[in-house]
Amino acid sequence: MEGPSTYKRPADRIFRGITTGAGVLILLVLAGVAVFLLAEAWPAFTAPDSEIPGEGGLVVYIWPLVFGTLLAATLALVVAAPLAVLIALFITHYAPRRIAQFLGYVIDLLAAVPSIIYGLWGFTVLAPATLAPTGWLADNLGFVPLFAGPASTTGRTMFTTVLVLAVMILPIITAVIREAFLQTPKLYEEASLALGATRLEMIRMAVLPFGRSSILSGSMLGLGRALGETMAVAIVLSASGGVTFNLISSGNPATIAANIALEFPESSGVAIDTLIASGLVLFAITLIVNMIARAVINRRTDLSGAS
């Protein structure tokens, strides 16, 4: 228990000041980024529609980018999150110790691979490999809006982009969930097994409820990376603009981050301000997503009594 003289020692006062300064610093950096983006993007907000690229206005320019960003990131999360849970369960409760340790090292290594490597892999390997599957999807499941077709002949589609993003965020989500599953109290697991539960029932009743908040937080961490991914999407996706749910055709919506990377070198004047305005929108989306995720996690923690 802290006494009244806890912070009277010089070392304690110094450490308290450093930690307080670090906490304030991150808030100042966040506020500084927001102010910078808003100041640089303001000319785009006040410019006439004719000066905005595409001459349709700022909203018309940014909306397809927002749609493409949310579509790619959300579908990547839908693909990666269930796989991450299954992989984490295999590592923590099914795999032999040596195999589990090896898989843990591999996952940590995959999380450190640069995004440009994933982009080159998606462009040279995955895109050609998706030609036959996407053709089959267009022929047999064309009534589903996601696979309406006609299938692209290059494979540089939103479908391929989603798969690349899913592979990229899979190690991050898996690592978070794996550590949470390892922290499950052995008493809970042994009690479930002692009462006659199978291993699957034990996982469903003891492990998954204990790691639920970590599953959500890991998923949001992966979603944050998917929302801001730049180089891999810029390399893989052949964007043509517009808004469409069709994942396998040649007409693909772009993402905000990739569009900024591709257009910024050749832009000037209001065009640069417009790109920064789209970056401000991406900043706001990421901030809102993380705030919602934090609120949900805190609510679940309060309901479970873990706090």
pTM to 2 decimals? 0.85
Average pLDDT over residues 151-162: 88
List, for residues 17-37, the tens digit of each pLDDT value: 888 888 899 889 988 988 988
pLDDT digits (tens, 9 = 90+) for 204-249: 888 888 888 888 888 888 888 888 888 889 899 888 877 888 888 8
The fold of the 47-304 domain, in CATH, is MetI-like fold (1.10.3720)
Q: How many Cβ atoms sit within 10 Å of the Cβ of residue 260?
A: 21
Alpha helices in 94-207 (DSSP H): 97-111, 115-121, 127-129, 131-140, 158-182, 186-194, 199-202
pLDDT at 3 over 70: no
Task: Give dist(CA 13, CA 190) in Å, integer.
Answer: 45
Read off the pLDDT band of 305 (50, 70, 90): very low
Q: What angle do CA 77, 285, 262 make, to 5 degrees?
A: 85
